[in-house]
Amino acid sequence: MKIKIGCHVSIAGGIFNAPKNAAELGCETFQIFTRSPQGGPVPALTDEAVGLFKAGMQQHGFTDFVIHAPYIINFGSGKPQTFHGSISIIRAELERGSLLGAKYVMFHPGSFKDLGPEEGMKQVKAGLQEVLGGYKGTTELLIEISAGAGQVVGDTFEELAELVAVLKKYHGFGGICYDTQHAFASGYDIRTQLAVTDTFKKFEEVIGLEYFRMSHVNDSKVEFASHKDRHEHLGDGHIGVKGFGEFIQHLSQFKTKEENQFMPLILETEHDKVQTDIEILKKLRNKS
Protein backbone atom coordinates (compact mmCIF):
# COMPACT_ATOMS: atom_id res chain seq x y z
CA MET A 1 0.00 0.00 0.00
CA LYS A 2 1.09 3.54 -0.74
CA ILE A 3 2.30 5.34 2.38
CA LYS A 4 2.03 9.11 3.01
CA ILE A 5 4.10 10.73 5.73
CA GLY A 6 3.38 13.80 7.84
CA CYS A 7 3.03 15.19 11.35
CA HIS A 8 0.70 17.03 13.66
CA VAL A 9 0.72 20.75 12.83
CA SER A 10 -0.55 23.87 14.57
CA ILE A 11 -3.61 25.91 13.52
CA ALA A 12 -2.41 28.96 15.46
CA GLY A 13 -3.74 32.12 13.83
CA GLY A 14 -6.46 30.21 11.97
CA ILE A 15 -7.14 26.77 10.56
CA PHE A 16 -6.17 27.97 7.05
CA ASN A 17 -2.53 28.18 8.26
CA ALA A 18 -2.26 24.40 8.65
CA PRO A 19 -1.46 23.45 5.01
CA LYS A 20 1.33 26.04 4.86
CA ASN A 21 2.74 24.89 8.22
CA ALA A 22 2.65 21.28 7.03
CA ALA A 23 4.32 22.08 3.70
CA GLU A 24 7.16 23.90 5.46
CA LEU A 25 7.90 20.79 7.51
CA GLY A 26 8.00 18.53 4.45
CA CYS A 27 4.69 16.74 5.09
CA GLU A 28 2.86 14.73 2.41
CA THR A 29 -0.26 14.70 4.59
CA PHE A 30 -0.84 16.13 8.09
CA GLN A 31 -2.92 16.14 11.26
CA ILE A 32 -4.61 19.02 13.12
CA PHE A 33 -6.91 19.83 16.02
CA THR A 34 -9.81 21.91 14.66
CA ARG A 35 -10.31 23.34 18.18
CA SER A 36 -8.41 23.58 21.45
CA PRO A 37 -7.53 20.03 22.58
CA GLN A 38 -8.30 20.98 26.22
CA GLY A 39 -11.79 22.32 25.48
CA GLY A 40 -13.07 25.90 25.37
CA PRO A 41 -14.56 27.95 22.54
CA VAL A 42 -14.78 26.27 19.14
CA PRO A 43 -13.60 28.30 16.13
CA ALA A 44 -16.52 28.55 13.68
CA LEU A 45 -16.02 27.06 10.23
CA THR A 46 -17.50 29.87 8.18
CA ASP A 47 -17.67 29.57 4.38
CA GLU A 48 -14.73 31.96 4.29
CA ALA A 49 -12.61 29.85 6.70
CA VAL A 50 -13.38 26.65 4.76
CA GLY A 51 -12.61 28.39 1.46
CA LEU A 52 -9.26 29.68 2.71
CA PHE A 53 -8.35 26.26 4.09
CA LYS A 54 -9.18 24.51 0.81
CA ALA A 55 -7.26 27.10 -1.17
CA GLY A 56 -4.25 26.46 1.10
CA MET A 57 -4.57 22.71 0.54
CA GLN A 58 -4.52 23.21 -3.20
CA GLN A 59 -1.72 25.75 -3.15
CA HIS A 60 0.56 23.39 -1.20
CA GLY A 61 -0.44 20.28 -3.14
CA PHE A 62 -2.27 18.40 -0.37
CA THR A 63 -5.18 16.11 -1.19
CA ASP A 64 -5.88 14.96 2.35
CA PHE A 65 -5.33 15.40 6.09
CA VAL A 66 -6.67 13.97 9.35
CA ILE A 67 -8.14 15.42 12.56
CA HIS A 68 -7.28 14.50 16.15
CA ALA A 69 -10.27 14.91 18.49
CA PRO A 70 -9.80 16.89 21.73
CA TYR A 71 -8.38 15.11 24.80
CA ILE A 72 -11.40 15.93 27.00
CA ILE A 73 -13.40 13.04 25.50
CA ASN A 74 -14.47 10.27 27.89
CA PHE A 75 -17.20 7.89 26.76
CA GLY A 76 -16.73 5.90 29.98
CA SER A 77 -17.33 8.86 32.30
CA GLY A 78 -19.73 8.57 35.24
CA LYS A 79 -20.65 12.24 34.71
CA PRO A 80 -23.57 12.49 32.25
CA GLN A 81 -22.34 15.90 31.14
CA THR A 82 -18.95 14.49 30.09
CA PHE A 83 -20.51 11.46 28.41
CA HIS A 84 -23.03 13.53 26.39
CA GLY A 85 -20.40 16.17 25.71
CA SER A 86 -18.14 13.47 24.25
CA ILE A 87 -20.90 12.32 21.90
CA SER A 88 -21.62 15.81 20.61
CA ILE A 89 -17.92 16.76 20.26
CA ILE A 90 -17.00 13.66 18.22
CA ARG A 91 -20.07 14.03 16.01
CA ALA A 92 -19.24 17.72 15.54
CA GLU A 93 -15.63 16.88 14.62
CA LEU A 94 -16.89 14.41 12.00
CA GLU A 95 -19.19 17.08 10.53
CA ARG A 96 -16.41 19.69 10.66
CA GLY A 97 -14.04 17.19 9.06
CA SER A 98 -16.52 16.57 6.26
CA LEU A 99 -16.77 20.32 5.60
CA LEU A 100 -12.98 20.65 5.42
CA GLY A 101 -12.42 17.40 3.51
CA ALA A 102 -10.64 15.42 6.26
CA LYS A 103 -10.02 11.74 5.67
CA TYR A 104 -10.30 10.66 9.32
CA VAL A 105 -11.10 11.85 12.83
CA MET A 106 -9.37 9.78 15.53
CA PHE A 107 -10.09 9.85 19.27
CA HIS A 108 -9.28 8.12 22.56
CA PRO A 109 -12.46 6.50 23.96
CA GLY A 110 -11.70 7.30 27.62
CA SER A 111 -11.53 5.41 30.88
CA PHE A 112 -13.43 2.74 32.82
CA LYS A 113 -12.37 4.36 36.10
CA ASP A 114 -15.88 5.60 37.04
CA LEU A 115 -18.09 2.73 35.89
CA GLY A 116 -15.80 -0.31 35.83
CA PRO A 117 -15.04 -2.37 32.71
CA GLU A 118 -18.47 -3.96 32.23
CA GLU A 119 -20.79 -0.96 32.65
CA GLY A 120 -18.12 1.26 31.14
CA MET A 121 -17.91 -0.80 27.95
CA LYS A 122 -21.70 -0.77 27.61
CA GLN A 123 -21.77 3.00 27.85
CA VAL A 124 -18.85 3.46 25.41
CA LYS A 125 -20.65 1.30 22.83
CA ALA A 126 -23.94 3.16 23.29
CA GLY A 127 -22.23 6.54 23.02
CA LEU A 128 -20.35 5.66 19.86
CA GLN A 129 -23.48 4.29 18.22
CA GLU A 130 -25.15 7.61 18.99
CA VAL A 131 -22.19 9.46 17.42
CA LEU A 132 -22.56 7.55 14.14
CA GLY A 133 -26.37 7.21 14.07
CA GLY A 134 -27.68 9.20 11.08
CA TYR A 135 -24.22 10.51 10.17
CA LYS A 136 -23.93 11.07 6.41
CA GLY A 137 -20.57 12.82 6.09
CA THR A 138 -17.44 11.71 4.25
CA THR A 139 -14.90 11.83 7.10
CA GLU A 140 -14.45 8.45 8.80
CA LEU A 141 -14.10 7.78 12.51
CA LEU A 142 -11.06 5.92 13.87
CA ILE A 143 -10.47 4.66 17.41
CA GLU A 144 -6.90 5.20 18.56
CA ILE A 145 -5.22 2.41 20.51
CA SER A 146 -4.42 3.66 24.03
CA ALA A 147 -1.39 3.32 26.29
CA GLY A 148 -2.99 1.49 29.19
CA ALA A 149 -2.52 3.93 32.05
CA GLY A 150 -5.19 3.35 34.71
CA GLN A 151 -8.34 1.73 33.36
CA VAL A 152 -8.04 3.20 29.91
CA VAL A 153 -10.45 1.97 27.20
CA GLY A 154 -8.97 0.40 24.07
CA ASP A 155 -5.45 -0.59 25.11
CA THR A 156 -5.82 -4.20 23.94
CA PHE A 157 -6.73 -5.58 20.51
CA GLU A 158 -9.56 -7.50 22.22
CA GLU A 159 -11.19 -4.32 23.57
CA LEU A 160 -10.77 -2.56 20.24
CA ALA A 161 -12.31 -5.57 18.46
CA GLU A 162 -15.36 -5.38 20.74
CA LEU A 163 -15.92 -1.79 19.64
CA VAL A 164 -15.25 -2.56 15.98
CA ALA A 165 -17.82 -5.38 16.10
CA VAL A 166 -20.53 -2.92 17.17
CA LEU A 167 -19.51 -0.02 14.91
CA LYS A 168 -18.58 -1.70 11.65
CA LYS A 169 -22.14 -1.64 10.31
CA TYR A 170 -22.32 2.16 10.61
CA HIS A 171 -21.62 4.54 7.75
CA GLY A 172 -18.65 6.66 8.74
CA PHE A 173 -16.77 4.08 10.79
CA GLY A 174 -13.25 3.47 9.48
CA GLY A 175 -11.38 1.38 12.05
CA ILE A 176 -8.27 1.81 14.16
CA CYS A 177 -5.49 4.37 14.39
CA TYR A 178 -2.43 2.40 15.52
CA ASP A 179 -0.14 4.56 17.67
CA THR A 180 3.22 2.74 17.76
CA GLN A 181 4.13 4.22 21.17
CA HIS A 182 0.77 3.45 22.81
CA ALA A 183 0.72 -0.06 21.40
CA PHE A 184 4.35 -0.67 22.50
CA ALA A 185 3.52 0.55 26.02
CA SER A 186 0.46 -1.71 26.01
CA GLY A 187 2.54 -4.80 25.14
CA TYR A 188 2.59 -4.95 21.31
CA ASP A 189 6.19 -5.09 20.11
CA ILE A 190 7.58 -3.93 16.74
CA ARG A 191 11.34 -3.91 17.49
CA THR A 192 12.23 -6.83 15.23
CA GLN A 193 10.90 -8.44 12.06
CA LEU A 194 9.60 -11.33 14.14
CA ALA A 195 7.86 -8.99 16.59
CA VAL A 196 6.22 -7.02 13.75
CA THR A 197 4.99 -10.21 12.08
CA ASP A 198 3.61 -11.47 15.38
CA THR A 199 1.90 -8.16 16.24
CA PHE A 200 0.24 -7.90 12.82
CA LYS A 201 -0.80 -11.55 13.01
CA LYS A 202 -2.55 -10.80 16.30
CA PHE A 203 -4.14 -7.67 14.83
CA GLU A 204 -5.41 -9.69 11.86
CA GLU A 205 -6.80 -12.50 14.04
CA VAL A 206 -8.44 -10.31 16.68
CA ILE A 207 -9.54 -7.18 14.77
CA GLY A 208 -8.93 -7.76 11.03
CA LEU A 209 -6.33 -5.93 8.94
CA GLU A 210 -8.99 -4.10 6.91
CA TYR A 211 -9.54 -1.99 10.05
CA PHE A 212 -5.88 -0.92 10.26
CA ARG A 213 -6.35 2.50 8.66
CA MET A 214 -3.49 4.71 9.77
CA SER A 215 -0.69 4.99 12.27
CA HIS A 216 0.71 7.54 14.67
CA VAL A 217 4.41 6.85 14.39
CA ASN A 218 6.17 7.77 17.64
CA ASP A 219 9.12 6.26 19.43
CA SER A 220 8.73 5.53 23.15
CA LYS A 221 10.33 7.29 26.13
CA VAL A 222 9.23 4.35 28.28
CA GLU A 223 10.11 0.68 28.13
CA PHE A 224 8.09 -2.10 26.53
CA ALA A 225 4.74 -2.83 28.27
CA SER A 226 5.16 -0.01 30.79
CA HIS A 227 1.61 1.31 30.23
CA LYS A 228 2.51 4.96 29.87
CA ASP A 229 1.82 7.47 27.08
CA ARG A 230 5.23 9.12 26.41
CA HIS A 231 6.25 9.96 22.84
CA GLU A 232 9.92 10.24 21.79
CA HIS A 233 11.73 11.20 18.57
CA LEU A 234 12.42 8.29 16.21
CA GLY A 235 15.60 6.50 17.19
CA ASP A 236 15.86 8.22 20.61
CA GLY A 237 13.44 5.85 22.31
CA HIS A 238 12.98 2.20 23.18
CA ILE A 239 11.54 1.12 19.81
CA GLY A 240 14.42 2.34 17.63
CA VAL A 241 14.83 3.04 13.91
CA LYS A 242 15.23 -0.65 13.03
CA GLY A 243 11.79 -1.35 14.48
CA PHE A 244 10.20 1.43 12.43
CA GLY A 245 11.91 0.06 9.33
CA GLU A 246 10.35 -3.36 9.91
CA PHE A 247 6.99 -1.74 10.68
CA ILE A 248 6.93 0.30 7.44
CA GLN A 249 8.19 -2.66 5.43
CA HIS A 250 5.23 -4.66 6.69
CA LEU A 251 2.69 -1.86 6.05
CA SER A 252 3.90 -1.33 2.51
CA GLN A 253 3.03 -4.96 1.77
CA PHE A 254 -0.64 -4.44 2.70
CA LYS A 255 -2.92 -5.23 -0.22
CA THR A 256 -5.36 -2.49 -1.19
CA LYS A 257 -8.88 -2.92 -2.53
CA GLU A 258 -9.09 0.49 -4.18
CA GLU A 259 -6.32 1.75 -6.37
CA ASN A 260 -5.86 5.16 -4.76
CA GLN A 261 -5.99 3.87 -1.18
CA PHE A 262 -3.08 4.90 1.04
CA MET A 263 -1.94 4.75 4.65
CA PRO A 264 -1.22 8.00 6.51
CA LEU A 265 1.74 7.82 8.92
CA ILE A 266 1.62 10.79 11.30
CA LEU A 267 4.34 11.82 13.73
CA GLU A 268 3.31 13.28 17.08
CA THR A 269 6.77 14.22 18.33
CA GLU A 270 8.00 17.62 19.54
CA HIS A 271 8.56 20.10 16.74
CA ASP A 272 12.23 20.75 17.66
CA LYS A 273 13.23 17.62 15.72
CA VAL A 274 10.09 16.60 13.88
CA GLN A 275 11.64 17.41 10.49
CA THR A 276 14.40 14.88 11.19
CA ASP A 277 11.72 12.35 12.16
CA ILE A 278 9.91 13.00 8.87
CA GLU A 279 13.14 12.48 6.93
CA ILE A 280 13.84 9.21 8.77
CA LEU A 281 10.37 7.91 7.92
CA LYS A 282 10.66 8.94 4.28
CA LYS A 283 13.99 7.12 3.97
CA LEU A 284 12.56 3.97 5.55
CA ARG A 285 9.50 4.15 3.28
CA ASN A 286 11.58 4.70 0.15
CA LYS A 287 13.69 1.63 0.99
CA SER A 288 10.68 -0.63 1.50
Q: Which residues bind Zn ion (CB under 5 A)?
A: 179, 216, 268
Q: How far is it, in rounded angstroms, from Cα 99 to Cα 69?
A: 15
- The alpha helices in the chain, defined as continuous H runs, are 18-24, 47-59, 80-100, 116-132, 157-167, 180-185, 193-206, 241-252, 274-287
Which C-beta is closer to Zn ion: that of 22 or that of 115? 22
Which C-beta is closer to Zn ion: that of 114 or that of 268? 268
Which C-beta is closer to Zn ion: that of 115 or that of 160? 160
Judged by DSSP in three states, 199 sits in helix
Q: How far is the CB of 215 from Zn ion (least distance, A)?
A: 9
Q: How far is the CB of 203 from Zn ion (least distance, A)?
A: 17
CA atoms within 13 A on the CB side of 37: 15
Which C-beta is closer to Zn ion: that of 94 or that of 267? 267
Q: How far is the CB of 229 from Zn ion (least distance, A)?
A: 8
Secondary structure (H, E, C), 207-265: CCHHHEEEEECCEECCCCCCCCCCEECCCCCCCCHHHHHHHHHHHHCCCCCCCCCEEEE
Q: How far is the CB of 268 from Zn ion (least distance, A)?
A: 5
Q: How far is the CB of 82 from Zn ion (least distance, A)?
A: 21
Which C-beta is closer to Zn ion: that of 155 or that of 179? 179
Which C-beta is closer to Zn ion: that of 37 or that of 134? 37
Q: How far is the CB of 285 from Zn ion (least distance, A)?
A: 19
Q: Which residue is nearest to Zn ion (CB)?
A: 216
Q: How do strand 231-232 and strand 219-220 relate by DSSP bridges?
A: antiparallel
Q: How far is the CB of 218 from Zn ion (least distance, A)?
A: 7
Which C-beta is closer to Zn ion: that of 104 or that of 135? 104
Give 247-252's long-range contacts (Cβ < 8 A, gap of 24+). 247/180, 247/190, 247/196, 247/215, 247/217, 248/3, 248/281, 248/284, 248/285, 248/288, 249/193, 249/196, 249/284, 249/288, 250/196, 250/197, 250/200, 251/1, 251/3, 251/215, 252/1, 252/3, 252/285, 252/288
